[in-house]
């Protein structure tokens, strides 16, 4: 089994943090997406979308999509539960993880991809206006997250979950995307300090 990734990229980081929380070790193989190493015929045969991370199982089966990979390991090693417990708990984690992925990480990534000069060869066409349009959408979700964290220790409630991982990666990716974190989101800052202090954050 191995994971093919680009270490600097946000989605691979989600998987690394998830595995660190689970205490699962998987060998990594690095491909540099900035050097078009995901565009080769060999990698394209594994993932026609030319995206990392991918998980390659011992029998050659390839899984892509961050959440699918995390779900695979959740079933392999259920504790600690990172997709929630019980009908309501699992649904709450799903709700918040989707919000963090589609409502925060997506907008931060679109800002980065459409505005950062280093991404011009991968994001064709780069549309500056679209990059700019995504910034306020990310900030809107960040304010909503701050409100959620006013009443809860973690993103989806009282337990750390994959929603925290997605949110942490999205918030940290705001720096390369050059989106300034607004001052005054005290609940967000309290949460960010706590989840950044977990050993998994350095994975
Ligand atoms: N939906 C995919 C997204 C994966 C993705 O966008 N990966 C980025 C790195 S964070 C990538 O491989 N980009 C390569 C490119 O843009 O050419 C997932 O959740 O894993």
Task: Render pLDDT for 45-77 as a digit per residue (tens, 0 to 9).
Answer: 999 999 999 999 999 999 999 999 999 999 999
> Which numbered atom of ligand 1 lies nearest the CA of 52?
12
Residue 67 pLDDT: 98
Q: DSSP letter at 199?
A: G
* Nearest protein CA to atom 12 of ligand 1, as residue: 51
Ligand 1 centroid vs 96 CA: distance in angstroms? 20
Task: For 142-180, write each residue's pLDDT tens digit.
Answer: 999 999 999 999 999 999 999 999 999 999 999 999 999
What pLDDT score does 183 carry?
A: 94
Beta strand ranges found along 20-148 (DSSP E) = 28-30, 54-56, 62-64
Our separate counts of H helices and E strands in the chain read 8, 4
- What percent of the chain clears pLDDT 90, i.e. is strictly above it? 100
**What rounded mean pLDDT belongs to the chain?**
98
CA-closest residue to ligand 1 atom 16: 122
Prediction pTM value = 0.98
Residue 2's alpha-carbon distances to 22, 33, 56, 59, in angstroms, are: 16, 17, 5, 11
CB-based contact 195:168 (threshold 8 Å): yes
Q: Is 65 in the pocket of ligand 1 (CB under 6 A)?
A: yes
Q: 187: pLDDT confidence band, cut at 50, 70 and 90?
A: very high
Q: Is the Cβ atom of 50 under 6 angstroms away from ligand 1?
A: yes
pLDDT of residue 157: 97
User: Residue 26's pLDDT is what?
Assistant: 98
C-alpha–C-alpha distance, residues 62 and 39, integer Å: 17
Q: For residue 80, name the pLDDT band (cuts at 50, 70, 90).
A: very high
> Closest ligand 1 atom, CA of 39?
17
Average pLDDT score over residue span 78-101? 98
C-alpha–C-alpha distance, residues 115 and 123, integer Å: 10
What is the reported pLDDT for 152? 98
> What does the pLDDT look like over 115-148, one tens digit per residue?
999 999 999 999 999 999 999 999 999 999 999 9
Ligand 1 lined by 116 (C-beta under 6 Å): no
Average pLDDT over residues 174-194: 97
Q: What is the pLDDT of residue 19?
A: 98
| Ligand 1 proximity of 170 Cβ (cutoff 6 Å) | no
Q: Write the burial class of residue 54 (CB in 10 Å: 0-12 exposed, 13-18 middle, 19+ buried).
A: buried
């Amino acid at each position: 089994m191995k994971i093919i990734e680009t270490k600097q990229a946000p989605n691979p980081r989600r998987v690394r943090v998830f595995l660190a929380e689970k205490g699962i070790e998987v060998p990594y193989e690095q491909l540099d997406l900035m050097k078009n190493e995901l565009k080769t015929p060999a990698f394209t045969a594994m993932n026609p979308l030319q995206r990392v991370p991918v998980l390659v199982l011992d029998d050659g089966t390839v899984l892509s999509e961050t959440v699918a990979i995390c779900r695979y390991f959740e079933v392999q090693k259920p504790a600690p539960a990172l997709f929630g417990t019980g009908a309501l708990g699992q649904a709450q984690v799903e709700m918040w993880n989707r919000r963090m992925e589609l409502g925060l990480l997506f907008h931060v990534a679109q800002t980065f991809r459409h505005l950062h000069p280093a991404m011009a060869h991968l994001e064709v066409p780069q549309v500056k206006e679209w990059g700019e349009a995504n910034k306020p959408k990310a900030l809107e979700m960040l304010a909503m997250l701050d409100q959620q964290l006013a009443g809860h220790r973690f993103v989806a409630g009282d337990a750390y979950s994959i929603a925290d991982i997605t949110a942490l990666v999205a918030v940290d990716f705001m720096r390369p995307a050059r989106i300034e974190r607004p001052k005054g989101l005290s609940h967000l800052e309290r949460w960010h300090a706590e989840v950044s202090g977990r050993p998994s954050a350095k994975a």
